[in-house]
Amino acid sequence: MVAKNQSLTSFFVKEKKVRFGSYVVNLPLIKPSKLTRKDGVGKELSDGWAVNFAVGCLFGCRFCYVDAIHKLYSSARVGEIVQADWGYYFAVPSNLEEAIEATPWHKWRGEEVLMSSTHDPYLPPLKTYTRKILERMLNNGVRVCIQTRSPLVLEDLDLLKAYREQVRLQVSVATLNTELAKIIEPRVVAPHRRLEILTEAKKNGIKTGIIVAPILPPCRLRPSVEEDLRQIFEKLAETRPDHVYGESLHVRGVNMTYLSEALGERLTVDPLFDRWVAKLFTKLLHRYNLKGRYWAGR
């Protein structure tokens, strides 16, 4: 794994098109998040809290709608770099070390916090900070939902295992079609490697989950949505995550433009597709005796 991680880090360092920057993050690092609440307002990802400590995400998934948020609200903090395409700008707070020390983590004792909602917490440039934040949160009794696509999280298994009663580790998988995955998630490890993260976590007694998202409409590379989902659930029946969530592709900002350019075709998304996927997803949950739910129309 070390060699692969070093190669990944080297890729990001040498990527000429990525525009790097910095900004000053406001305290505390934990902030309210309506999207992640469990009470029906959002999704079952936290008690309404998230910790984000970067602007941008180097994975550059073509379907991600966070880009639209940064283009609207983050230029005042990080400057014009956010006008670059998603995946080609990245900023880390210049005061992140100080913010980690100054955040009163104990105020969230017993609360679950999502790490993270606007970027992957296990991007290579963030890993050291991620460990420090986790140590502060877990030592202060904060519960954490880690959401990642990166196997770098496995390097922190010792910490997560020590606090396994406070942790759940989740990954995201959009498809098992490796050709499609390479196009829509250009800098992310293959889907089967993300499923291996869950296997390793379960071996260490850590609660696990998966978000099957975004579920794309039919496209040339993957014409059968139903077959793709069935294959995913067959794998999950072996892995047995504690929770399985799902949602379809949502049209927000420029993500549809990014997807169309990457796929070479324009996808059509409508409420009928969302309702159809919701029924299929729920049916598969029951068939394979898995817990979870579909997030319809989020």
pLDDT at 42: 76
Confidence at 41, pLDDT banded by 50, 70, 90: low
Tell me how far CA of residue 141 lies from CA of 105, 162, 242, in angstroms: 9, 12, 22
Q: Which helix (H) or strand (E) holds 76?
A: helix 75-78
**What is the rounded average pLDDT of the residues 172-187?**
97
State the pairing for strand pair 30-32/49-51: antiparallel
Confidence at 298, pLDDT banded by 50, 70, 90: low
Q: Which domains does the chain have, with CATH numbers?
A: 2-294 (3.80.30.30)
pLDDT of 227 above 60:
yes
As a whole number, the mean pLDDT across the chain is 92
**What is the rounded average pLDDT of the residues 117-122?**
97
3-state secondary structure 152-182: HHHHHHHHHHHCHHHEEEEEEECCCCHHHHH
> What are φ and ψ of residue 274, in 5° steps?
-60, -45
Of the candidates 106, 116, 118, the one whose C-alpha atom is nearest the C-alpha of residue 144 is 116
The tens digit of pLDDT for each residue in 243-279 reads 999 999 988 778 999 999 999 999 988 889 999 999 9
Confidence at 10, pLDDT banded by 50, 70, 90: very low
**What is the rounded average pLDDT of the residues 99-115?**
98
pLDDT at 17: 87
Under a CB-based contact definition with an 8 Å cutoff, are residues 117 and 43 in contact?
A: no
Rounded percentage of the chain residues whose pLDDT exceeds 90: 84
